[in-house]
Amino acid sequence: MSTPRRGATSSPRHPGDLGSSDDRRWRLEDQRDFLVRSLADLCSERDAGDIESRDYEALAGRDQRRLTAVEAELRELDVAEEAALVAAPSGAGTDSVPSDAGRRRRPVWLGVLATVALTAGTTLLVVHLASPRLPGQPETGSITQSLADEVQTELAEASVLVDEGTQSSLSEALVVYHKVLSEDPDQPQALAETGWLEWEAGFSATDTSLETRGRALVQRSLKVETDDDAAHLFLGTIELEQNHDPAAAVTQYKTFLSEHPARSLITGAAPLIAQAFDAVGQPVPAAVRG
């Protein structure tokens, strides 16, 4: 389950209700742009000798298949929208475009933790995490796009992938987060999200090395950005689930709540927060009960 997270990215577009035509187009166009860049990066890596031929063929083939599918969906969407415009009464359709206000920003899949279980998909994710493939850094990038803009675009793409929620998309999100960290090792969102994804996969598979690495990344993110509400939520959950230390979890959860996180983020984490407060004999905060 994905819930909104504080708006740390500065991307001009944010994923919203992916069921609407407007937001579906946003998702598809964002994926298309990312895949085009990814294929260009792979070509640069191959030409520079930074990637083996078999790895290039596998990764480029995967991205090209995804790009073909995305472009096909965009063409279908174009046809559907044109048909809707023809069928709509004169003057209709101008008031139905969804606003950007209140759309979701960064995803957090805390709901997975509430019912976490070892699955074949999780095992595949753990295998991927053990030796993630880091896409090559762009040699020059777009003439008009700075590194900071590129990082924000990559963070937005990773958020879309996490929001899809499949093991494949989560693995791809990790590749993107690792790429961000190769460009900016102290990028707090990438540190926190990477740490959380790695820790959750390790926890599911009882892989203590992944748990340790994931926790360290979340802690490191908080050294860079001390008021990251989601990172405090991550660390509180790690204290509760891995270390069985509800007192330490309550400390992190209190900090999380003091930073005025999104209501939906509190709701998604409420069972875990209530569990920690109950365990130490403290009343569950009203924000959580509500």
Q: What is the pLDDT of residues 43-53, one digit of tens each?
A: 887 888 877 78
- Per-residue pLDDT band for 246 (boundaries 50, 70, 90) equals very high
Question: Cβ atoms within 10 A of the Cβ of 68, count?
Answer: 11
d(CA 48, CA 264): 46
C-alpha pair distances (Å), 158 with each of 128, 176, 278: 16, 6, 35
By percentage, how much of the chain surpasses pLDDT 70? 71
d(CA 258, CA 241): 22
Residue 43 lies in a domain: yes
Angle between helix 246-258 and helix 263-279 axes, rounded to 10 deg? 150
Residue 63 structural domain? 21-87
Residue 5 lies in a domain: no
Please state, rounded to an integer, the average pLDDT across all residues of the chain: 74
- In this prediction the pTM is 0.58
Phi, psi for residue 3 in degrees, rounded to 5: -130, 155
Chain position carrying tokens 């004999």: 281
- Total number of domains in the chain: 1
Residue 187 lies in a domain: no
- Whether the predicted pLDDT of 74 surpasses 60: yes
d(CA 7, CA 2): 14
Residue 122 lies in a domain: no
Residue 78 lies in a domain: yes
What's the whole-number mean pLDDT along residues 43-72?
A: 78
Residue 41 lies in a domain: yes
Phi, psi for residue 173 in degrees, rounded to 5: -60, -40
Task: Give how far the C-alpha of residue 113 lies from the chain's centroid of Cα atoms, to the nearest Å.
Answer: 15
